[in-house]
Amino acid sequence: MWVFGYGSLIWKVDFPIETSRPGYIKGFVRRFWQGSHDHRGTEENPGRVVTLIPTEELAQFEDNHMETIAWGMAYKVEESKVAEVVKHLDHREKNGYSVHHVHVYHPDSETPVVEDAVVYIGTPDNEAFLGPASLDAISHQIAKSVGPSGPNIDYLLNLCHALRAISPDAFDSHLFALEKRVLEIKAEQAKQVEY
């Protein structure tokens, strides 16, 4: 079994794997539209984590996107560990995510490098889906949210760093715009504390 990670699974693989491959899936974009009250926020102050949105659904959210792919990492799970890993991922991704199957591509190949990978997606019909908001609103929410797994900003910055490490081609305009704005907010907050 192959698993495709596009969020924290890019840098935090907490299950046994045989091998991994960087790559991307077509027809999806990554967005910080999924609420997190169990990892990067609380019930009262949910954080935001990423989910995948099919590109054909973006128009309903009035989202102007540049990309039509989402970069991440594909992980091959040892055959003897599949049941254990599925149970683990079902628990880890319990906050509104459902299982889907995708092809994983790499720039070096026109055909998929992984024919069938499992991916967990927080679809708009799940109760934790927050949906779109302005760049500023999402950035402020990320800058202030903290949950059992730590500050929401750590999730964002780790994801940006991990994505850049995958490939020089791994660009994500939404993600990198949020990174820039959240760092500006944190710098503004630090200046206010100095005075």
Instruction: Give pLDDT tens digits for 114-163.
Output: 999 999 999 899 899 999 999 999 999 999 999 999 999 999 999 999 99
Alpha carbons 41 and 44: distance in angstroms, whole number: 8
Which residue range forms the structural domain that includes residue 43?
Answer: 2-194
User: Is 93 a known active-site residue?
Assistant: yes
In 3D space, the residue among 118, 159, 147 whose CA is nearest the CA of residue 35 turns out to be 147
Q: Which residue has the tokens 């780790």?
A: 158
DSSP state of 78: P
CATH of the domain at 103: 3.10.490.10
Helix, strand, coil % in the chain, rounded to nearest 5: 35, 35, 30
Report the number of distinct structural domains present in the chain: 1
Spot the catalytic one: 93, 115, 184, 194. 93
This prediction has a pTM of 0.91
Whole-angstrom Cα distance, residue 68 to residue 72? 14
CA 156-157-161 angle, to 5 degrees, is 120
Q: What is the DSSP letter of 132?
A: -
Per-residue pLDDT of 24-62, as tens digits, reads 999 999 999 999 988 898 999 999 999 999 988 887 887
